[in-house]
C-alpha cells in the first residue's frame, strides 16, 4: 500500500531560525495536503498541492510539490513561537483517502 515518509521526526529551533520538513511517498500522488496539529488539538488543514513542481506560499510558509509528484516540503522562514506543533503531510493517490506521514514535531524556543 501507499506509504508516506516524513523527516525529521522532531526539530527544536530558536525563534527566528528557519525550519523545513520533508515528505516522500512510495507512489506517485494525485495531490498532497499539509496539516498542522497543535499540542492537544486536532489537525488543521494548511494547503493542498496538485500540480507537478507546484510552489505555494502562505506568509512565512512555503510549500513545494516535486516534479515527479512523489515528494513535498514545507519551509517556514523565521519561526515564531506560534509555529509550535506537529506538521503532517498527507498524500492521496486517488480521490479522497489520505495517507498521513508520521509528522514533524516543531518546538520553537523564544
Interface with another protein by CB under 8 A: which residues?
Answer: 31, 33, 35, 41-45, 47-48, 50, 88, 95-103
CB of 78 to another protein, least distance (A): 26
Between 22 and 88, name the residue whose CB sits nearer to another protein.
88
CA dihedral 7, 98, 106, 18 (to 10 degrees): 70
∠ CA(49), CA(55), CA(59), 5° rounding? 100
Between 53 and 94, name the residue whose CB sits nearer to another protein.
94
CB of 93 to another protein, least distance (A): 12
CB of 6 to another protein, least distance (A): 8
Q: Grid coordinates in use for 44?
A: 488543521
Between 77 and 99, name the residue whose CB sits nearer to another protein.
99
Write down the residue that cell numbers 520538513 correspond to.
21
C-alpha dist (Å) from residue 5 to 16, 52, 54, 99 = 27, 19, 20, 10
Between 50 and 55, name the residue whose CB sits nearer to another protein.
50
Amino acid at each position: 500500500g501507499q506509504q508516506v515518509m516524513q523527516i525529521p521526526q522532531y526539530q527544536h529551533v530558536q525563534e527566528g531560525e528557519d525550519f523545513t520538513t520533508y515528505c516522500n511517498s512510495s507512489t506517485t500522488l494525485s495531490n498532497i495536503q499539509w496539516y498542522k496539529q497543535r499540542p492537544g488539538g486536532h489537525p488543521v488543514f494548511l494547503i493542498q498541492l496538485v500540480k507537478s513542481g507546484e510552489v505555494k506560499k502562505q506568509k512565512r510558509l512555503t510549500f513545494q510539490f516535486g516534479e515527479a509528484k512523489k515528494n513535498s516540503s514545507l519551509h517556514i522562514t523565521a519561526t515564531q513561537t506560534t509555529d509550535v506543533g506537529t506538521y503532517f503531510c498527507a498524500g492521496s493517490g486517488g480521490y479522497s483517502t489520505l495517507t498521513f506521514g508520521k509528522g514533524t514535531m516543531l518546538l520553537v524556543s523564544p
